[in-house]
């Protein structure tokens, strides 16, 4: 693709994708690094929310509004996963 062919919108979407990708990398760094389980849960939640943003940007790039359904599902799974992990962290404390 020639650089002159890129429209304003495409450039903005690509910039947005680069920034969200960088943010996802940073969140992944925190997920690997820890140090505690709640830190990892927060990082996982952040990755879920960033994935919604990536899907939204990709929607515009490919002109495919159908992908918004996938964004709904990702948001739902991220929320449920976070709540389940929060309960797990609390329960694990009580068992000890």
Partner 1 sequence: MNDVVTAVLIVVGGAFMLLAGVGIVRMPDLFMRMQAATKAATLGAGCMLMAVAVHFGELTVVTRALLVTAFVFLTAPVAAHMIARAAYSVGTPLWKGTIADEFRCENDRVGQSAGETSTAQRANPAAREK
User: Could you list the residues that contact partner 1 (CB under 8 A)?
Assistant: 7-9, 11-13, 15-20, 22-27, 29-30, 36, 38-39, 41-43, 45-46, 49-50, 52-53, 56-57, 59-60, 65, 68-69, 71-72, 75-76, 78-79, 82-83, 85-87, 89-90, 92-93
User: How many Cβ atoms from other residues are within 10 Å of residue 35's Cβ?
Assistant: 8
Matching residue, tokens 């919604």: 52
4 vs 65 by CB, closer to partner 1? 65
Peptide bond just before 22 cis, omega within 30 deg: no
Supply the minimum distance, in Å, between the C-beta of residue 5 and partner 1: 15
Supply the minimum distance, in Å, between the C-beta of residue 54 and partner 1: 8
Supply the minimum distance, in Å, between the C-beta of residue 2 and partner 1: 19
- Is residue 50 within 8 Å of residue 20, measured between CB atoms? yes
Radius of gyration of the chain (CA): 17
Supply the minimum distance, in Å, between the C-beta of residue 69 and partner 1: 7
């Amino acid at each position: 693709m020639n650089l002159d062919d890129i429209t304003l919108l495409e450039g903005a979407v690509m910039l947005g994708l680069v920034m969200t990708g960088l943010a996802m990398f940073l969140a992944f760094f925190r997920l690997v690094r820890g140090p505690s389980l709640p830190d990892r849960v927060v990082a996982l939640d952040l990755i879920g929310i960033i994935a919604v943003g990536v899907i939204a940007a990709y929607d515009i790039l490919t002109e495919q509004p159908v992908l918004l359904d996938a964004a709904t599902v990702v948001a739902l799974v991220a929320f449920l996963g976070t709540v389940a992990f929060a309960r797990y962290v609390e329960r694990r404390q009580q068992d000890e």
